[in-house]
């Protein structure tokens, strides 16, 4: 009846926890490395890239601050100050929302698009080198589909 789980009851003795653990460790290692390398190579912090990417993909290249915050991955709760910084660098500009005087729009500028296009291949290259290159097509699909399920379930529960 004695089982090996007795020896180390808190560790990776079950598949779900082991998967979660490697998920955390991989994120910590890769995000830091890629962030540093992209900033070294382009001068653009990854958080700026994140904002410019979302604005560029949006209708008319602009979004309300709230929507921008919802789409961005890296600096969620800092968007207002982040946009300040990127605006100082001339890569976005704030515009009033014609439909709602309370809202503010952040719009990507020509310089912003230029910088985004310059940085993009470098970022994509790092993702390829550090992440995708080590996985097979089947593994990539399994990870993408699996995590999409997890994320969908999460968005279903949390508002």
Tokens of 157: 């529960």
Establish if 32 lies at the interface with DNA (CB under 7 A).
Answer: yes
Size of the site for DNA (CB under 7 A): 27
Establish if 30 lies at the interface with DNA (CB under 7 A).
Answer: no
When CB distances are held under 5 to 8 angstroms depending on the partner's kind, the choice from DNA, its own copies, none that residue 55 binds is none
As measured in angstroms, the least distance from the Cβ of 15 to DNA is 27
Out of 38, 44, 45, 51, the residue judged to bind DNA by CB under 7 A: 45
The residues pairing with 92 across neighbouring beta strands, listed in sequence order, are 108
Out of 81, 114, 141, 144, the residue judged to bind DNA by CB under 7 A: 81
Establish if 144 lies at the interface with its own copies (CB under 8 A).
Answer: yes
User: Rounded distance, CA 12 to CA 126, Å?
Assistant: 30
Three-class DSSP category at 94 = strand
User: Rounded distance, CA 94 to CA 105, Å?
Assistant: 6
User: Rounded distance, CA 107 to CA 62, Å?
Assistant: 4
For binding to DNA (CB under 7 A), which residues are involved?
A: 32, 36, 45, 47, 64-66, 74-85, 94, 97, 100-105
């Amino acid at each position: 009846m004695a089982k090996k789980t007795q020896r180390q009851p808190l560790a990776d003795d079950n598949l779900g926890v082991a998967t979660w653990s490697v998920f955390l460790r991989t994120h910590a290692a890769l995000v830091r490395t890629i962030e540093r390398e992209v900033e070294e190579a382009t001068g653009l912090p990854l958080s700026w890239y994140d904002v410019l990417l979302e604005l560029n993909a949006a209708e008319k290249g602009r979004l309300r601050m709230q929507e921008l915050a919802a789409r961005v991955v890296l600096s969620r709760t800092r968007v207002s100050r982040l946009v300040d910084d990127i605006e100082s660098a001339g890569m976005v500009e704030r515009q009033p929302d014609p439909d709602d005087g309370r809202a503010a729009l952040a719009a990507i500028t020509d310089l912003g698009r230029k910088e985004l296009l310059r940085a993009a291949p470098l970022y994509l290259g790092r993702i390829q080198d550090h992440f995708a290159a080590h996985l097979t097509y089947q593994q990539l699909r399994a990870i993408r589909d699996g995590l999409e399920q997890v994320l969908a379930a999460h968005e279903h529960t949390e508002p």
